Chain A
Amino acid sequence: MNKVVIIDDEPLARSIVVEYLQQHPSIEIAAECNDGFQGVKAIMQHKPDLIFLDIQMPKINGFEMLELLDSTPSVIFTTAFDEFAIKAFEANAIDYLLKPFSKERFDLAIQKWNEKKNTSSKKSIQSLLENTTKQPDERNRIVVKNGSDIRIVPMADVMYIEAYDDYVKIFTKDTYYLKKKTMNYYEQVLDSSQFFRTHRSFIINLQELTKIEPLEKNTYVVLLKNGKKIPLSRTGYSKLKETLGV
């Protein structure tokens, strides 16, 4: 028996998936969720083999929800219209259903999943998340998880980001959050007028910068408002001067 979770904020949109699934007796619907928060909970609880996931949802979108998962099940996206997302799906060979979709198209997606489910789809999901063009909202926030607590951190609250093995540590005033992303990813995604990569392992929020201090001959550190010292590489130093216009 395969378990699925359906995540979509429109009840009617979920009901059509439920209806089409009735023809597939080997699939059991473990949960239906209204939003990404419920989605994360249901996925942790039921460990489904497959999820149907809408992209545009309240608070956190489908991609942000996937980023919160420790292990990603197979995903079939259901979406009405999102040209960037669709390009990303095609590039990563992940199946997606464009609303409204027919029973035949739905069955085809299930069939594809049946054929592929033994080969790993984790990689394609990972590369999808890395490569999807960010929606405007996503540039302004980072969605993080602490245990079972999901938080939406506005970018303005982020003081700096530090590399940490396969993860990054995202520092805010009071605490830090771990996120499985690369420094290169954040360097590309973040607004370059607001965030600056000072060093291979550090990105700082320019709003927090108070001072550039020499450390030894030809080496520098930047001083943040809270007193934290962040290393500044030599190329970082000249680039930073350029950015600040000094």
Chain B
Amino acid sequence: MYVTWWIVWGCIQTWVLRHLELNWHEAIIDSLLSNGLLSLACLAAIILYRYYQPGKSNRIYRLVFALSITILYSITFKWIITYLLGADEYYIDFLEKSMPVRSIISLLMLTFLTITNWLLYNIQEQKEKEQRRNDAEQLVKEAELARLRQQLQPHFLFNSLNSISALAGTKPNEARKMIQQLSDFLRGTLKKDDQQTVSLHEEIEHLKLYLEIEKVRFGHRLQVDINVDCDNKDVSLPPLLLQPIVENAIKFGLYDTIDDITISISCHFENNYLQVQIKNPFDSDTQQANEGTGFGLSSVQRRLFLLYARNDLMTTEKKNGQFITSLKIPQIKK
């Protein structure tokens, strides 16, 4: 491409010179030499720009650079061509007259080259910057999602281990069963990838494991009512999305009242959304001052926003002593 450019340019110059009453011999030598030198000068400039890009503060260097190469080129050219074709006085006369035009052409070319190079470089840099920013954003998002997902409650873990310890003395079989459930539950929380969704069935099974463990701890007080009505539809949701809500429900249900409690979870499919409702009782007398939804729920809200860019997918309400969390999970058509 670069070579073709110079050959074409050389031919044009030869043709122009021929029409300016130079003989073929002189026209060709002149054109070859001037274009050869100029192409070398431009090549030098390209190579230089590859290794050194003047910063924003010294943009003027580019112009200075183009100007000095032009001067260097003009002097070198004149010196060599005088040596080669100095015998012909008509040519020397022509050379003297044409020298300013030649210098200006060379300066224009180098300036053009400089500007093109600068533009290309800037575009390239912009692209890289964009890329880097996207990568960084993606990383932050993934890290945040992972953190939100794996908010394992240390309370839950240690209290479960304590229950196992208690069972181990008197009911070793139940202890073994609980270890099994706890292991399955923990494995479930570790392997999930946020980019993929899981089927509702899988998520509910995981919740059941969690609830079974909580029932061993609070069996005397805790009732769970799960009602899934999705007509065998293939519905899916981000993994471990419901878990913090159920955790929250249990925490408020169990710690805000001293009575027996029922947590109910119901799911149905409507208007291309999976709708989930989780209810727990709470004490309206003591909770009136505490309007916070708790960390668990805000993390769910945040995850839904990161995944779907919407803030209206989770709502909470308090009604008849029940705290109700409702979720809408968009179903992407396959």
Contacts and interface: CB of A to CB of B under 8 A. Distances in A.
A227 interface: no
Contacts of A101: 162
A81 B154 contact: yes
Contacts of A154: 285-286, 288-289
A58 B257 contact: yes
Contact of B162 (A12, A19, A58, A137): A12
B10 to A, nearest CB: 81
Interface size class of B (residues with CB under 8 A): 20 to 34
B290 interface: yes
Contact of A99 (B159, B255, B283): B159
Interface stretch (B22-30, B128-136, B163-171): B163-171
Interface residues of A, number: 29
A155 B289 contact: yes
A13 to B, nearest CB: 6
A80 B290 contact: no
B274 interface: no
B158 to A, nearest CB: 4
A19 B167 CA distance: 11
Contacts of A10: 159, 162-163, 217-218
B161 interface: yes
A169 interface: no
Interface in B202-258: 216-220, 254-258
Contacts of A87: none
Nearest to B286: A152
A80 B256 CA distance: 19
Contacts of A152: 285-286
A229 interface: no
B56 interface: no
Interface in B276-298: 283, 285-286, 288-290, 292
A35 B258 CA distance: 8
A231 to B, nearest CB: 27
B191 interface: no
Interface string B147-166: 00000001100110111111
Contact of A16 (B166, B216, B256, B289): B166
Interface in B107-155: 154-155
A59 B166 contact: no
A56 B219 CA distance: 17
Contact of A12 (B163, B288, B289): B163
A141 B288 CA distance: 10
A80 B165 contact: no
A59 B158 contact: no
Interface string A85-98: 00000000000001
Nearest to B167: A12
B216 A12 contact: yes
B289 A81 contact: no
A15 interface: yes
A100 interface: yes
A44 interface: no
A34 interface: yes
A80 B153 CA distance: 11
Contacts of B167: 12
A81 B170 CA distance: 25
A55 B90 CA distance: 109
Contacts of B283: 59
Given A10-B159, A81-B158, A100 B165 contact: yes
A82 to B, nearest CB: 8
A151 B311 CA distance: 38
A13 B162 CA distance: 7
Contacts of A99: 158-159, 161-162, 165
Interface string A1-33: 000000001111101100100000000000000
Given A11-B220, A19-B170, A156-B289, A100 B154 contact: no
Given A58-B257, A100-B161, 12 more contacts: A9-B218, A10-B162, A11-B220, A12-B162, A12-B167, A13-B163, A16-B165, A35-B258, A58-B256, A80-B155, A100-B164, A154-B288
19 contacts: A16-B165, A19-B169, A37-B258, A58-B255, A58-B258, A59-B257, A80-B154, A80-B158, A80-B159, A81-B155, A98-B158, A99-B159, A100-B165, A141-B286, A141-B289, A152-B285, A152-B286, A154-B288, A155-B289
Interface of B: 154-155, 158-159, 161-167, 169-170, 216-220, 254-258, 283, 285-286, 288-290, 292
> Which 6 pairs between the two chains have the least Cβ-Cβ distance?
A80-B158, A99-B162, A16-B166, A100-B165, A154-B289, A100-B162
